[in-house]
Structure 1
Amino acid sequence: MSYKTIVVNLAVDADPAPIVKLGAELAKRFDAHLVGLAAADVPPLVATDDCLVYEGEIMQIQRTEIEKLLAKLRDSFETLVPASISSEWVQYVCGPTRALGIAARSADLIVTADGGDDVFRAVDVGSLVLGVGRPVLVVAGNAEHILGKTVLVAWKDGREARRALSDSLPFLANANEVVIATMEADSGQDARNSLADVAVFLEQHGITARTEVIAGEADGERLVAFARLIRADLIVSGAYGHSRLREWAFGGVTRSLIGESGINRLLSN
């Protein structure tokens, strides 16, 4: 298995250079076609200082400004991607999360930086992971490279983690060290048997992995701390083993990982 088409998301309010360089590096590593994407939308209503709402002309002005910004991002993408890499550009005047969902129809991997609160100009990473049906690589802040020499696989025996494991095989095959870890309050034989089965699965794909049980309840901060302890620069995890509402109301591993901008994260649902 390999990634044949990689979509890299250029945020309209961020420097495009780091994410484009990272996307180009991944495309070269996996011999993949690289799709550069940028999107932003015009809010449906515009309020002035006088609390008046205008449509029409003001919205058209904003749309024109967005199109100019997208054109500049296209120029940056085409300048930064080496000619030796197969690539193309797409842009949309719509929300970035929706645009990435459209592009994902023909993609193997989505690459994006962290999102933001403005759904008209920034991706909602949680919604993207839940709805896109593809692995989402959320890169560390301003990262230009993903070495992926040591990869931590966060294991919980469920659909999401199994999907993430399969989706990450190209990264795992390129890693020098793969660590499969589960967080358990009671590190009994069932947990160890589950980890052993995953190690066998990876071995069948030519990947050697070691296993670890992290004592304690599932906790995103503890997982990230362990990743730093073993000097991993990529965490692979299933996303939203509980409902998203429960995750955001009570906390959860996915919520912590989405909010952690200091390490690269590959998330699948």
Structure 2
Amino acid sequence: MSSYASLIVNLDLGPDAASRVALAARLAERFGARLIGSASRSIIPALPLEAGFAAQTLIEQWREIAAEELQEIEAGLIKLAGPAAGTALRTGMDEPTPFLVEQAHAADLLIIGRQGRSDHRDWRFAVDPGSILLEAGRPVLVVPPATDRLSAQRIVIAWKDTREARRAVWDALPFLKAAEEVFVFTAGESPETSGARGLQDYLRQHGVNARILPDATIREACIADELVERARQEGADLLVSGAYGHSRTREWILGGVTRDLLDHASICCLMSH
């Protein structure tokens, strides 16, 4: 991928929405990309069948409230991203996660907020990051709270010779090609057995001179924390990683490292499945 032509940022009315939109707007300007805001709010509550006419009245009231909230989101997008040519908003009154998955066909990159156990969630518009990663078919940039800038001048690739990691590297090429320094980190494997040397050569063909970080022996339980710590040691504010998971009885089961990065990674993570 040579560049990003279209970015979608998920919107809500939570305290971190403004910083996320600001970051997305700066990326759109950097890549000359179209910026699309996406927001959807479900208005169908669980009501007893005997509610009858009263239920319909409540639904109409909730629909009006949802419409007002979506107008507030639109005003915020225009204020933060500006009325630049190409900036657009897509809204719906449906479950937020499937709505964003449906909109993903229009973007090269999806930008969503981190929603870990200790993070504030605007439940009205919140999407499930794991489901977005595994269903959207697009790379996802997960942004920590209160993060309004991403320099991506120094990037760490969490490398494992898998389909997911290879996809993530390809999807991150616009960032990698513009970076000042790129580092490849393999947890518990040598550069020779992990395919890191081959990755280094591949990136060189794209004009990216990557450096392989010294191998480190780390416990399986803390790989995500080690990845983020190594990125910080190298002054990186972007981590590129494959996203791992599988479907079981119609529910997505995330891999441990993917789950931990989504829960509490303190830097931006570009992830692909």
* Common fold: TM-score over 0.5: yes
Distance 2:122 2:17 in 1: 18
Distance 1:261 1:241 in 2: 18
Shift in alpha-carbon separation, 1:183–1:241, aligned structure 2, 3 A: farther
* Structure 1 moving runs of 4+ over 4 Å: 116-120, 241-248
Q: Which runs of 5+ in 1 are unaligned?
A: none
Deviations 1:192-223 (A, max 9, x none): xx101001111000111001223235421121
Task: Please state how far the C-alpha of 1:21 moved relative to its aligned partner.
Answer: 1.1
SS where residue 34 of structure 1 aligns?
strand
**What is the total number of aligned residue pairs between the two structures?**
260
Task: Please state how far the C-alpha of 1:106 moved relative to its aligned partner.
Answer: 1.6
1:161 matches 2:165: yes
**Corresponding position of 1:190:** 193
SS where residue 183 of structure 1 aligns?
coil
% of aligned pairs identical? 37
Q: Tell me whether 67-76 or 217-226 shows the greater mean CA deviation.
A: 217-226
Deviations 1:36-77 (A, max 9, x none): 111111243158xxxx89732212211211110010110111
Task: Please state how far the C-alpha of 1:126 moved relative to its aligned partner.
Answer: 0.2
Shift in alpha-carbon separation, 1:243–1:228, aligned structure 2, 3 A: farther
Task: Please state how far the C-alpha of 1:264 moved relative to its aligned partner.
Answer: 0.4
SS where residue 94 of structure 1 aligns?
coil
Aligned with residue 238 of structure 2, among 231, 234, 255: 234
Cα pair 1:7 1:35 within 8 Å, conserved: yes
Q: Tell me whether 80-89 or 218-227 shows the greater mean CA deviation.
A: 80-89
Shift in alpha-carbon separation, 1:88–1:247, aligned structure 2, 3 A: closer
Cα pair 1:17 1:80 within 8 Å, conserved: yes
Distance 1:241 1:105 in 2: 21
**Pairwise CA RMSD of aligned residues?**
2.4
SS where residue 61 of structure 1 aligns?
helix
1:23 matches 2:27: no
Shift in alpha-carbon separation, 1:46–1:146, aligned structure 2, 3 A: farther
Cα pair 2:238 2:267 within 8 Å, conserved: yes
Cα pair 1:39 1:91 within 8 Å, conserved: yes
1:100 matches 2:100: yes
Distance 2:246 2:35 in 1: 33
Distance 1:40 1:151 in 2: 35
Amino acid at match of 2:268: N
Cα pair 1:39 1:96 within 8 Å, conserved: yes
Cα pair 1:66 1:93 within 8 Å, conserved: yes
Shift in alpha-carbon separation, 1:247–1:93, aligned structure 2, 3 A: closer
SS where residue 56 of structure 1 aligns?
helix
TM-score normalised to structure 1 length? 0.88
Deviations 1:130-164 (A, max 9, x none): 00000000112121110111111001110000000
**Corresponding position of 1:225:** 229
Task: Please state how far the C-alpha of 1:115 moved relative to its aligned partner.
Answer: 3.2
Shift in alpha-carbon separation, 1:166–1:17, aligned structure 2, 3 A: same
TM-score normalised to structure 2 length? 0.87
Q: Tell me whether 158-167 or 110-119 shows the greater mean CA deviation.
A: 110-119
Q: Which runs of 5+ in 2 are unaligned?
A: none
SS where residue 35 of structure 1 aligns?
strand
1:36 matches 2:40: no
Task: Please state how far the C-alpha of 1:189 moved relative to its aligned partner.
Answer: 3.7
**Corresponding position of 1:179:** 183
Amino acid at match of 1:190: T
Aligned with residue 254 of structure 1, among 258, 269, 272: 258
**Corresponding position of 1:215:** 217
Cα pair 2:38 2:89 within 8 Å, conserved: yes
Shift in alpha-carbon separation, 1:68–1:131, aligned structure 2, 3 A: same
**Corresponding position of 1:109:** 109
Amino acid at match of 1:208: N
Task: Please state how far the C-alpha of 1:243 moved relative to its aligned partner.
Answer: 6.4
Amino acid at match of 1:76: G
Amino acid at match of 2:167: R
